Amino acid sequence: MLATNIKKLRKEQHLSQEELARKADITYSTLIKIESGLNKNPTLETLAKIAAAFGVKLDKLVGR
């Protein structure tokens, strides 16, 4: 669900994976692993950075 939500939000905001990684100040490889589902438990700090880059709350990012 997390991977799907991130991908959906990224596409809604017309961001490439590279652009989102840069905007969230995380590595491109970290974002790829999260979006592909390889990293199912990213750190809270990483999730907070992604949520901030999207301008949403963590709840929306994780699908609550």
Could you give the CA distance from residue 48 to residue 34 in angstroms, rounded to a whole number?
A: 13
**Residues ≥6 apart with Cβ < 8 Å to 45:** none
**Could you report the per-residue pLDDT of 24-62, keeping only the tens digit for each?**
999 999 999 999 999 999 999 999 999 999 999 999 898
Are the CB atoms for 57 and 5 separated by under 8 Å? no
Q: What tokens were used for 60?
A: 């929306």
Whole-model pTM above 0.95?
no
Is residue 64 pLDDT above 80, yes or no? Answer: no
What domains can be seen in the chain, in order of their start residue? 2-62 (1.10.260.40)
